[in-house]
Amino acid sequence: MGVELHEVSLSYPGTDLVIDSLTAQIDDGEFVAVLGASGCGKSSLLNMIAGLLQPTSGWLEVPQDGAAFMFQDANLLPWLSAADNISLALKLGGYPADLRDARVAQLLNLVQLGHAGQKKPHELSGGMRQRVALARSLAQDRQVLLMDEPFAALDAITRDMLHEELRSLWQQTGKTIIFVTHNVREAIRLAGRILVLSSHPGRILETRRISAQLRNDPAQAAALADELTTILRKEQRKHERTSAAG
């Protein structure tokens, strides 16, 4: 089972709509990027899927075991090693104690950190900390993985490397990934489908399928990136004019 949203709207007390009548079907095993400018409700959408927020109207369905969540900041416990940060997530999820060490080793290898399990967060680079955070999310063993701009704070080279690793990991695990970003090229590089949201309130403006052929063709990828960037800039300017008028 994937994720289904039907006419979902969200507003916070005393505010206008953040998300307006959003309907989407995300299939099991699909990799979807949610693309939009800052303030369009992308993070709020993930929070509703995760069960941290309830929609003001409409309804949504997620798998019975819920979704794992990976944030922009790794938020690792600084006094624990990389392995122990992952092990704690397994413990909290009720994973059998006698099997935890083997599972931690498996997850560290999956994110290319089999050599760094005993290092503390301050001994790891930003990219390595995000790998640990990803492994910790996978430790929850949920079919749906929500990712809220997890690579936004990383340098371009590290981000590119993690893009490749995330695509490989998705292919290995078959998880349903919903990846929020404001980076057009990141969305094209990672996802099989892109949902483009309008700026405040968030509505689906465009849905684009990303074939392997398009992703691997620099000219096609660049043309689509330019097109989507133009759409987002137009939405951002519209939002700025509305805010100034209000």
Ordered by where they begin, the domains of the chain are 3-66+143-245 (3.40.50.300), 76-141 (no CATH)
Comparing 240 with 18, the larger pLDDT belongs to 18
Residue-wise pLDDT for 90-131, tens only, equals: 999 899 999 999 999 999 998 888 999 999 999 999 989 999
Q: Which pLDDT band, with edges at 50, 70 and 90, does 10 fall under?
A: very high
Question: Once rounded to an integer, what is the mean pLDDT over residues 193-222?
Answer: 92
Predicted local confidence at residue 239, as pLDDT: 64
Question: Once rounded to an integer, what is the mean pLDDT over residues 186-195?
Answer: 96
Residues 6+ apart with CB under 8 A from 145: 67, 68, 70, 137, 138, 175, 176, 177, 178
**Measured distance CA(25)–CA(178) in Å, rounded:** 11
Question: pLDDT averaged over the chain?
Answer: 90
What is this structure's pTM? 0.91
Yes or no: say if 187 and 193 are a contact pair by the CB < 8 Å rule: no
Residue-wise pLDDT for 26-71, tens only, equals: 999 999 999 987 778 888 999 999 999 999 999 999 998 889 999 8
Predicted local confidence at residue 108, as pLDDT: 93
Predicted local confidence at residue 243, as pLDDT: 60
Predicted local confidence at residue 202, as pLDDT: 84
